[in-house]
Amino acid sequence: MAPRKIIIDTDPGQDDAVAILLALASPEEIDVLGITAVAGNVPLELTAKNARIVCELAGHTHVPVYAGCDRPLNRPLVTAEHVHGKTGLDGPVLPDPEMPLADGHAVDFIIDTLRAHEPGTVTLCPLGPLTNIASAFQKAPDIVDRVQEIVLMGGAYFEVGNITPAAEFNIYVDPVAADIVFKSGIHVVVIPLDVTHDALVTKHRNDAFRALDSKVGHAVAEMTDFFERFDIEKYGSEGAPLHDPCVTAYLIRPELFSGRHINVQIETQSELTMGMTVADWWRVTDHPPNAMFIGEIDADGFFALLTERLARL
């Protein structure tokens, strides 16, 4: 089967970095047409820099990296240095990128790419706030019907919020953008905290990354050593939740995941619950299903896949 053509929209972030590495290590299943950076975990200048650092770490400097939106559609930017560190990629010492940013704005790359490829053949994989995606849909409504699928990391139901009591970070940062995406009519696969909080990098799993004894293996282990502090302190978890790599793993082995096709709406009015993904998991309303909301992951299978693929880089 031909590899799936994707655009990764991202705010690296250590977990975004691992998601990008997993995609670049899997050319049989994934063809990364480009990477679009968005403001999120850290400001845009850093997410655009970090995305290039990761491409160079993987030895894939041919992948174009575009800078996108530097703030949400209608709210001030909220960042997460408390989780990811000042650089957004704290942990390993990695060289500044030599590869330049691709010319042009990320939103225009998304629009041009969707127009250039056959309808229904390009998947969008947002790993951060949905500002670039929603901006592309607003600027070029004709591309909405051309999107094959959106597979995103964001939201929560049973796990509720990680940035507020009610909301997960990616959705919280730009709830209006998320509302546009969830109302677009495109098939959206949602990988929420309910799943990613089961994808924990325990010591044993991180030792397996280190045991690869490669530049990539050591970098991923050191990113995780840094990134896990926040979740261990807040949740008492056994290690860092690898949020974004779950998106890439879903593209490669969807059978590692299970969920329900339900209605999901985004809170955009109340400051108290702003950015909450109101998931009708128990189907108590007659609102039409608009998302495949993933609820479970085979965590051992996920880490076996991730470690095997990282060994290729």
**Which residues would be at the binding site for ligand RIB (CB under 6 A)?**
11, 13, 15-16, 40-41, 127-128, 153, 162, 168-170, 243-244
Beta strands at 257-262 and 291-297: parallel, antiparallel or unpaired: antiparallel
In whole angstroms, the minimum distance from the beta carbon of 283 to ligand RIB comes to: 25
Q: Where are the beta strands (DSSP E) in 196-303?
A: 200-201, 240-241, 257-262, 264-266, 277-279, 291-297
Q: Which of residues 10-49 bind Ca ion (CB under 5 A)?
A: 11, 13, 16
Interface size with Ca ion, residues (CB under 5 A)? 6
* Helix%, strand%, coil% for the chain, nearest 5: 40, 20, 40
By the rule CB under 5 A, 127 interacts with Ca ion:
yes
In whole angstroms, the minimum distance from the beta carbon of 169 to Ca ion comes to: 8
Residue closer to ligand RIB, measured from CB, 42 or 143: 42
Residue closer to ligand RIB, measured from CB, 15 or 149: 15
Q: Which does 110 bind (CB under 5 to 8 A by kind): ligand RIB, Ca ion, none?
A: none
b/e string for 254-268 if b means 16 or more Cβ within 10 A?
eebbebeebbbbbbb
Residue closer to ligand RIB, measured from CB, 11 or 194: 11
The alpha carbon dihedral of 134, 171, 247, 41 has a sign of positive
DSSP character at residue 187: -
In whole angstroms, the minimum distance from the beta carbon of 10 to ligand RIB comes to: 8
In angstroms, rounded to a whole number, what is the distance separating the alpha carbons of residues 211 and 231? 24
x-marked contacts with Ca ion along 259-278 as a string, rule CB under 5 A: --------------------
Q: Which does 148 bind (CB under 5 to 8 A by kind): ligand RIB, Ca ion, none?
A: none
Q: Which does 168 bind (CB under 5 to 8 A by kind): ligand RIB, Ca ion, none?
A: ligand RIB
Residue closer to Ca ion, measured from CB, 147 or 152: 152
In angstroms, rounded to a whole number, what is the distance separating the alpha carbons of residues 200 and 159? 14
In whole angstroms, the minimum distance from the beta carbon of 157 to ligand RIB comes to: 14
Most distant pair of Cα atoms in the chain: their distance: 53
Residue 184's DSSP bridge partners are none
In whole angstroms, the minimum distance from the beta carbon of 36 to Ca ion comes to: 12
Q: Which of 67, 26, 266, 98 is nearest to 170 (CA)?
A: 266
Active site residue 204: no
**272 Cβ contact list (under 8 Å, min separation 6):** 166
In angstroms, rounded to a whole number, what is the distance separating the alpha carbons of residues 131 and 105? 13
Residue closer to ligand RIB, measured from CB, 111 or 134: 134
Instruction: Using the structure block, give the residue that is written with the tokens 């959206």.
Output: 188
In angstroms, rounded to a whole number, what is the distance separating the alpha carbons of residues 14 and 47? 11
Q: Which of 117, 243, 261, 287 is catalytic?
A: 243
In angstroms, rounded to a whole number, what is the distance separating the alpha carbons of residues 11 and 89? 10
By the rule CB under 5 A, 171 interacts with Ca ion:
no
By the rule CB under 5 A, 128 interacts with Ca ion:
yes
In whole angstroms, the minimum distance from the beta carbon of 130 to Ca ion comes to: 11
Residue closer to ligand RIB, measured from CB, 17 or 143: 17
In angstroms, rounded to a whole number, what is the distance separating the alpha carbons of residues 300 and 282? 27
Catalytic residue IDs: 243
Summarize as ranges the residues that interact with Ca ion (CB under 5 A): 11, 13, 16, 127-128, 244
